[in-house]
Amino acid sequence: MNDLPDPRSVCAFLEKFQQEATEALERLELETGFRRDPWNHPDGSRGETRVLEGGETFEKAGVNFSDVSGTALPGAATERHPELAGQPFAAMGVSIVAHPRNPYVPTAHCNVRFFSARTADGVDRWWFGGGFDLTPYYGFEEDARHWHAMARAACASFGDEVYPSFKQWCDRYFYLPHRDETRGIGGLFFDDLNEWGFEKTFGFMRAVAEHFLKGYLPIVERRRETPWGERERAFQKYRRGRYAEFNLLYDRGTLFGLQNSRRAESILMSLPPDCGWIYDYRPEPGSPESELTERFLGARDWV
């Protein structure tokens, strides 16, 4: 059976997924839509940045597609592939970040991507990567269990070991060592995935994309009408600071984009629109704010 990589099929799916995610998030807004910013580069790279700002549901959201190539793979992508450092490559993907206005609605992130490269001695390599994770400001058991049930469902037909493995990888990846805490409640993370062959691995990437929307949209609809005030807003801004710290210090996707692209605005669309830092902040014991770190952050089995 021919199981050679088919980048055209991957690209077509990614552009379709970008459109589906855009429409799904826009349906949760009354008036605000996404600004669409298509771009092309002389080297053949292309993409479309889509950003929503100032919505009633989403204070800021981005749904970006990119299809890029280069003559030298950046360092952020070669940590696990040192033999490919400085070699020609191609990369395509969709990245989604949603920062809701209501502090009771969590921030969500999804990325699905496909890489190909060639070693110095002419050997072609390819792999898939991606996943999704959830960053609540106020924790709800119902939401966390639903989110991880969708993560497990995305993995179900690919082997019993897949969800536990990629769930644990997510917990390790979205971790701030200088804070000794996870960014949120996790989800799925995978990279360098090719041992299943192209068709099966491509199918897994599609399942991850599909279950991201199934996981996130019901939570938004369930929480977006919850009343909130200045206390909740202040805590949301404080926790958003943690999100910004991770993206700027540790996120490989952000680092890869900044090393490989002149489109800093597109890469940094993932940052929250308004955040804050409070020196040595400690939430009141027993408060909803302290419950976030005591019960929700950290590696935990949700399903």
Is 41 one of the annotated active-site residues of the chain? no
Q: Give 124's strand partners.
A: 118
Q: Give 23's strand partners.
A: none
Cα dihedral 177, 94, 193, 268 in deg (nearest 10)? -30
CA 298 to centroid of chain Cα atoms: 18
Element (H, E) at 252: helix 252-260
Contacts 24+ apart (CB under 8 A), 109-114: 109/133, 109/134, 109/135, 109/270, 110/21, 110/208, 110/209, 110/212, 110/216, 111/253, 112/14, 112/17, 112/205, 112/208, 112/209, 113/253, 114/7, 114/10, 114/14, 114/205
E strand segments, the chain: 35-40, 46-53, 58-70, 89-100, 107-118, 124-135, 175-176, 181-182, 186-193
**Three-class SS state of 121:** coil
Is the distance from CB of 221 to CB of 100 less than 8 angstroms?
no
DSSP, residue by residue, 87-119? --EEEEEEEEEEEESSTTSPEEEEEEEEEEEE-
Q: Is 103 exposed, middle or buried (0-12, 13-18, 19+ CB in 10 A)?
A: buried
Q: Choose the catalytic residue: 81, 99, 109, 148.
A: 109
157: number of Cβ within 10 Å: 11
For 100, list phi and psi in degrees, rounded to 5.
Answer: -70, 160
| Residues annotated as part of the active site | 109
